[in-house]
Structures are given as C-alpha cells and as structure tokens.
Chains A and B, each alone.
Chain A
C-alpha cells in the first residue's frame, strides 16, 4: 500500500460504503446498524441518483453496498444499473435470502461482486445468529449465483460462535466456488448489546491471527490489519482507511468516517443537500480523523503493520479516539501474560 501517497490526501475516496436502507427481513443479533424497518427519511431514488452522479464525477471507483438488506429497496437494481453505467464497481453485501433466479441473472454484470453473509457452516450454527431458515435460503442463493458464474464471497463475522467453524466455512465456500471473507465484529448497532457475549477472547483472536496467516486465500477487507502477521502484509491495508480511502453514507444520506462510526458526533454532512466533494475535502470531522495519531502505539514493534488498529472499536469500548485498538495482536498477547507485579 502506498501509505505516503494516501497521507498526501486523495481527491476522492477509493470506495464508499453505502448503506442504502435500514429495511431488513432478518434480525441478526450482531447487526452493525440495528436494521429492521425502513426509515421514512431514507433517500429517494432521485436523491440516490444525484449522489451517484457526484461520486462518479469525482471518480470514486467502487461502492460497497450494504444496509439493511439492499434488495428490500424496490429501486435497488435500477440504482445499481445506474452506477454501473457510470463505470462504478459495486460490491453488494446481502443476506442472500431474496436472491432468486431472476435477480441472479440481473446481477450477472462484470462490475458486480456479491458478498453473501453466513455465520456458520450448518443451520444449527448459523440460524441462531441470522434467523431460522436463513442458512437454507443462502445456499439456494449461492446455487442461483453459481448458475451465472458470478463472483461471490461468503462473509462471516468473527464471533465466539463462528470461530470454531472457520475450517468448515472455508470448505463450504470452496464447495460453492466462492471465496471466504471474515469480518471483524464491532460493537455498533445491535452489536453493542451482543458484544460481551459474542466478541472473541484474546486467546481466540491470537489463534485466529495464526489461522489467517495459514489461509492467505481468505480475505478480510479492512477488518484485521490489527492482527495481521508478516505473511499477510501485502494482502491489504495496514492502517484504518476511514476519511483517507473510504467513508460511509447512511440510508438518510449522512456521511460518516466508516460504517461503524455512524454516531451524531461523527456526522460530517448530509448528501445530496450538501456536496459530497465539499464534505470530503472540508469537513472538520474528516480533517480531524485524518490527523488522528495514536501516540501510545508509535513505539510498538507492530506499528508499521497496523498503525494503532481500528478507531471504531477503541471508540465503542472506551468512548475515546486516539487510543490503541483493544483487540490488536499486541494487546491480545499482553492479556495472556499474567500480571506479575509484586504488591
């Protein structure tokens, strides 16, 4: 990664995470955005088109689409067509349950990636997290997508429940010709309530780091640079990309540093009422995020590999920015070492 060029400031994000609706037909216990019902303030089709127009003019390369469940929006596929016509790549995160043959056919486009969520390798392990019947419905969607040879990843959130299933998940993904992607669990949305129950232990995070270093084909997006080892150095980011490479747009048009920091204090502006370009360049929230320094990490031998880790986890667990990610590899190792202070 060209960190020094990123630090010079990019004229636009490389990708924008866009949560297109809160509406969802599932009610996953770790949902990052507490999705369920549609919010009446969600952007209209015309508003979404105006946003796409501006982001395309700025040459944003990719949208990471999420929600809610994107396919709950009746205009969703039309909006994706609109983005593709402007050359924007879309990576669509979906629970998969609404994908039928017709939708799969329409998703067969060279600029589309699909990411289907699954949090266990069997109905017994997946459905308690994502809802009854969801495992079966996801496998059906994977079959439809495979008929069109559409590039698919199976996305699993790392929790105490999914951690023991990783090898089986890897096999399942391979059986469907899909990649496995593992995402970090963050305490936002409904994840705030389930955090203490579901977040992996320090031992599990260390074991996961080791597992990742032996499974280089497993992708992690921007999730696990805080626990990445040398083996994965060239596979992705080694720092938080919020406000530098990426940012998030909420269903109502709120612009935030990332999907996990959709809090009022981090709202940088609202589109399409305000210009996205101005928000990206001028917002005090974004400027302060770009200047965020995690001083306590700078002397760490792993600083070059993670630059302090995920600010969202630090914020949600300690209500502070500018401090170390509590789940970074170094902190997990420290947690294992007994405190031998003589009192």
Chain B
C-alpha cells in the first residue's frame, strides 16, 4: 500500500457496502470476496478519488482510534485486495 495512492477497481470487479463491510464480485469466476471492513472502507473509496493518506486522516478524526492501528488495518486489507487482483493503486 502506498499512502499517496488512490485505489480503483480492476475491470470486471464490482463492490458494494454490506452490514459487515464490503462485498466484492469478480466477473472472472465469477467469485465473491467478503471483507469485514465495517466502517473503515466504503465502496466510494474505490472510485479512486481519495489517496489513502486523506482517508487515514479522516478516519483518525472520525474514530479517534490510534493512527498506526488504522494504517495497519488499511494496509492489510488493501494489499490483500490488490494481491487478489481486485483493485489497483494509482
């Protein structure tokens, strides 16, 4: 994960918000991925308009959780999604 990067969905991938977090659908397969991200990530983040650093600032202000803890969670999640070919940084 790069803090200055924004992330977009790969072609053929869709995402929507669910009560547990995010549900990804990959057209290749097709295959589903359940991401229990709760309020940390929402589907609009993957429109690619917001760098991770801005998201991080916003989440720290909103939740008052330790910055490092949120950053670690985001890094694990985004790296995993990128590794599965669902998103890409730009």
Contacts and interface: CB of A to CB of B under 8 A. Distances in A.
Nearest to A12: B16
A337 interface: no
B12 interface: yes
B42 interface: no
Given A1-B32, A5-B34, A87 B19 contact: no
A74 interface: no
Interface in B12-45: 12, 14, 16-20, 23, 25, 27, 30, 32, 34, 36
A87 B12 CA distance: 9
Nearest to B19: A8
A79 interface: no
A61 B32 CA distance: 10
Interface in A45-78: 59, 61-62
A12 B25 CA distance: 13
A342 B27 CA distance: 56
Given A5-B18, A5-B36, A59-B14, A10 B30 contact: no
B17 A87 contact: no
B27 A10 contact: no
A8 to B, nearest CB: 5
Contact of B30 (A8, A9, A12, A62): A62
B14 A5 contact: no
B23 A10 contact: yes
Ranked nearest first, the 9 interchain pairs of A and B with the lowest CB-CB distance are: A2-B34, A59-B16, A61-B25, A5-B34, A5-B20, A61-B14, A8-B19, A8-B20, A89-B27
Contacts of B20: 5, 8
A59 B46 CA distance: 15
Nearest to A111: B27
10 contacts: A2-B32, A5-B20, A8-B19, A11-B18, A14-B23, A14-B32, A59-B16, A61-B25, A61-B30, A62-B25
Contacts of A8: 18-20
A59 B16 CA distance: 7
Contacts of A2: 32, 34
Interface string A101-125: 0000000001100000000000000
Interface of A: 1-2, 5, 8-12, 14, 59, 61-62, 87, 89, 110-111
A87 B34 contact: no
A8 B38 CA distance: 13
Contacts of B34: 2, 5
A110 B14 contact: no
B16 A110 contact: no
Contacts of B16: 11-12, 59, 61
A269 to B, nearest CB: 22
B64 to A, nearest CB: 26
Which has the most chain B C-beta neighbours within 10 Å: A9, A10, A12, A61? A61
Given A11-B19, A62-B30, A89-B30, 5 more contacts: A2-B34, A5-B18, A12-B16, A59-B14, A61-B14
Nearest to B34: A2
B26 to A, nearest CB: 10
Contacts of A111: 27
Nearest to A245: B32
Contact of A11 (B11, B14, B17, B36): B17
Nearest to B24: A61
B14 A87 contact: yes
A180 to B, nearest CB: 16
A14 B25 contact: yes
Contacts of A110: 11-12, 27
A194 B17 CA distance: 44
B43 to A, nearest CB: 8
A2 B33 CA distance: 8
Nearest to B33: A2
B36 to A, nearest CB: 7
B11 to A, nearest CB: 8
A161 B18 CA distance: 44
